[in-house]
Amino acid sequence: MLTEAQFERARRLALGLAGIELFDRHRELLQRRSDRLIGQDSLDALLDAAEDGDTDARRRLIELLTTNFTGFFRHPWHFHLAAEHALWAVHRRGSARLWSAAAATGEEPYSLAMAVIDVFRRDDPAVTILATDIDEAALAVAREAEYAGAALAALEPAQQARFVGEPTGGGSRRLVPAARRLVEFRRMNLADLVWPLDGIFDVVFCRNVLMYFEAGHRYAVLERIASMLEPGGLLLLDPSEHLGGAAELFVDRGNGAYTRRSAAGMASASRQGSAR
């Protein structure tokens, strides 16, 4: 049974390591997942190691506390909008960079790759998709690009015919190379002080991740995302999520879609944020 002391230790570590704010409603999640720890490890042993600075223990703890909300083409309109925005960027500049900031097991970035291929009407568009997540185990699944029939059922028949390959065994099928080669996977913690990223993005998906962060971390993440978006660049959140204090950095386009304000608007918002 999860004790109050264990929950408080997990709460402190989650906030300090990843900016994740745990509430009482997360107790059941932590209890259920700690029961499934690999091997003979106990929750106390994992917490001890994480507090002692063990990198692997810290990674495993954060993976224990986060839930992968994912599926192919969740909120389909987002993917069509992102692909059209990428097409506009390529026409204007010759290439486009897209980022899935909470890629989980890969369904979101691969959906984006499929949408891009459909809109561009070619298998080799001048588009790159970076897919990051804090959960290395989820990323390992994503890199394989093998999915069970239940997951692939979310794809339309035409999408299945074009993007899903032959069975790989165990009821799974692998996505075709055209969809896979547009996506690069990389582990990244959005709460880290330094992000291993460079350059500017045209589109950022950051869906179902901000809800884990306390208000200060949430604003900091959105401010950094805004600084890495092209002026007019597209940010996509889950429609149930809100920008909070960072709303001043973006223009609300509805249904979870936002565009980055102009440089002048960003400067004004930054001054206001500094005065908080």
Stretch among 120-124, 163-167, 193-197, 235-239 having the lowest mean pLDDT: 193-197
Closest CA to 187 of 138, 136, 142: 136
The amino acid occupying position 64 is L
Q: What are 99-158's pLDDT values in tens digits? A: 999 999 999 999 999 999 999 999 999 999 999 998 888 999 999 999 999 999 999 999
The domain ranges of the chain are 4-65, 76-274
The amino acid occupying position 202 is D
Residue 267 in this model has a pLDDT that exceeds 80: no
pLDDT at 217: 86
Q: What is the DSSP letter of 213?
A: B
* Mean predicted confidence (pLDDT) in 61-75: 82
* Token code pair at residue 222: 């959105």
Q: What are 149-182's pLDDT values in tens digits? A: 999 999 999 999 999 998 887 889 999 999 999 9
* Token code pair at residue 94: 């010759």
- Judge: domain 76-274, CATH 3.40.50.150: yes
The amino acid occupying position 252 is D
Task: Give me the half-sphere count of Cα atoms (radius 13 Å) on the Cβ side of residue 155.
Answer: 23
By annotation, the residues acting in catalysis are 33, 133
pLDDT at 242: 86
pLDDT higher at 216 or 226: 226
The amino acid occupying position 66 is T
Q: Can you state the angle between helices 263-274 and 215-227, rounded to 10 degrees?
A: 150
